[in-house]
């Protein structure tokens, strides 16, 4: 059950008395997966639900709007991933300045004790809560002890000796290192947006593209990427979340210097599909970066490179589908 609640009084009784964790959970990575796995074990011990309490928008958007990091997932995607990991209730609470002004003790009493009636809590070492982030795991442990709530501090999940975090993943994506970022996420990085009409130049070249707008999450830097369709708001498209291969997509992010264009665009060539999907929401899983954007001396050179991009994209999707089936 994924719900957005306007106030704490509307949170359902079924979400009470469980194992709880609180945080942004942006990206939903392997560190989050470890927390949910431990929560599941605790919930089974206490015969209660697994509850994730998260915020929309992230608190940083209100506290420091000019330098808040871009999101890795929209709230719907985040909740869906958490549910796949085994969370019973994803409580998405609207972030307000009033909520952020609560002292740590007030937040603990109002949210954890009175509203959720938590019996167990699991957090990572960098957890902070309450006004000015004054509350830390040491304070939380003490507060839990005072209310006879079981508290567990999880060690950070490591990859190659480094802490797996949303910040680390964001930095990788910001450098175009999609494969490295995906290795830390529970599912491949996804962008989605509304398909709008562009210059239609790709169609005249034999490589029609869907131009995405209103993406809403961190977009990788300019380059050509291999990906696959994750979903489209059009039933006739026949793409499902359970399809291990999907349709391969070659995505150009950035300008089109060959034709003298400097505007940054996200143009997706859906290999094997040429239907009209204007004004629909298209979701794409990014798998690997293929190359940088560059200017070509002729139309023939460009066409030859586009054909190579298509073939590489197909190979990448086949390889990733094989890995997923083996898992």
Convert the pLDDT of each residue in 213-234 to its tens digit. 999 899 999 999 999 998 876 5
**Residues 287-316: tens digit of each pLDDT:** 999 999 888 888 889 999 999 999 999 999
Average predicted confidence (pLDDT) for the chain: 89
Length, in residues, of the chain: 327
**Residues 189-218: tens digit of each pLDDT:** 999 999 987 666 666 677 888 899 999 899
Q: Closest Cα partner for 258 from 304, 308, 289?
A: 304
The pLDDT value recorded for residue 6 is 76
Query: Rounded CA gap, 118 and 52, in Å?
Result: 11
The pLDDT value recorded for residue 203 is 65
The pLDDT value recorded for residue 327 is 54
Q: Mean per-residue pLDDT for 1-22? A: 87
For the chain, give the longest Cα–Cα distance.
Answer: 73
The pLDDT value recorded for residue 232 is 77
**Residues 99-139: tens digit of each pLDDT:** 999 999 999 999 999 999 999 999 998 999 999 999 999 99
- Is 145's pLDDT higher than 90? yes
Domain with CATH 3.40.50.620 in the chain: 2-159
251 and 268 Cβ atoms separated by less than 8 Å: yes
Q: Dihedral (C-alpha) 41, 31, 59, 104: value to the nearest 10 degrees?
A: 50
The pLDDT value recorded for residue 3 is 75
The pLDDT value recorded for residue 173 is 98
Query: Rounded CA gap, 230 and 209, in Å?
Result: 16
Query: Rounded CA gap, 71 and 261, in Å?
Result: 28
The pLDDT value recorded for residue 298 is 87
- Is 243's pLDDT higher than 50? no
The pLDDT value recorded for residue 252 is 94
**Residues 30-68: tens digit of each pLDDT:** 999 999 999 999 999 999 999 999 999 999 999 898 889
Domain with CATH 2.40.30.30 in the chain: 188-326
- Is 237's pLDDT higher than 70? no
What is the fold, at CATH topology level, of the domain defined by 188-326?
Elongation Factor Tu (Ef-tu); domain 3 (2.40.30)
Query: Rounded CA gap, 92 and 40, in Å?
Result: 19
Give the CA distances from residue 92 to residues 6, 103, 170, 189, in Å, rounded to whole numbers and listed in that order.
Answer: 9, 20, 22, 21
| Residue, of 321 and 252, whose pLDDT is higher | 252
CATH number of this structure's domain 2-159: 3.40.50.620
Q: Mean per-residue pLDDT for 238-247? A: 52
Percentage of residues in the chain having pLDDT higher than 70: 90
270 and 317 Cβ atoms separated by less than 8 Å: no
pTM (two decimals) = 0.90
Q: Mean per-residue pLDDT for 152-165? A: 93
């Amino acid at each position: 059950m994924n719900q957005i609640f306007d106030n704490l009084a509307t949170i359902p009784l079924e979400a009470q008395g469980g194992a709880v964790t609180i945080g942004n959970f942006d990206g939903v990575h392997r560190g989050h997966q470890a927390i949910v796995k431990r929560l599941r074990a605790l919930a089974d011990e206490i015969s209660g639900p697994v509850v994730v309490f998260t915020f929309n928008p992230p608190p940083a958007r209100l506290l420091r709007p000019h330098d808040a990091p871009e999101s890795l997932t929209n709230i719907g995607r985040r909740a869906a991933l958490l549910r796949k990991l085994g969370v019973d209730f994803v409580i998405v609470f609207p972030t307000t300045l009033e909520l952020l002004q609560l002292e740590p003790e007030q937040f603990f009493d109002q949210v954890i004790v009175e509203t959720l009636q938590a019996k167990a809590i699991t957090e990572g070492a960098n957890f902070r809560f309450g006004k000015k982030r004054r509350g830390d795991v040491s304070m939380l442990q003490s507060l839990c002890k005072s209310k006879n709530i079981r508290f567990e501090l999880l060690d950070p999940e490591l990859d190659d000796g480094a802490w797996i975090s949303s910040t680390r993943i964001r930095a990788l994506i910001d450098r175009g290192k999609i494969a490295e970022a995906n290795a830390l996420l529970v599912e491949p990085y996804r962008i989605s947006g509304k398909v709008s009409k562009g210059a239609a130049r790709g169609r005249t070249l034999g490589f029609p593209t869907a131009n995405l707008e209103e993406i809403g999450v961190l977009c990788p830097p300019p380059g050509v990427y291999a990906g696959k369709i994750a979903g489209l708001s059009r039933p006739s498209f026949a793409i499902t979340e359970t399809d291990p291969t999907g349709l391969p997509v070659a995505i150009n992010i950035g300008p089109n210097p060959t034709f003298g264009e400097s505007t940054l665009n996200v143009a997706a060539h859906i290999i094997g599909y040429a239907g009209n999907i204007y004004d629909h929401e298209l979701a794409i899983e990014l798998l690997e970066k293929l190359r940088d954007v560059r200017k070509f001396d002729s139309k023939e050179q460009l066409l030859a490179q586009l054909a190579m991009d298509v073939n590489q994209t197909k190979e990448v999707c086949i390889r990733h589908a094989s890995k997923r089936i083996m898992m």
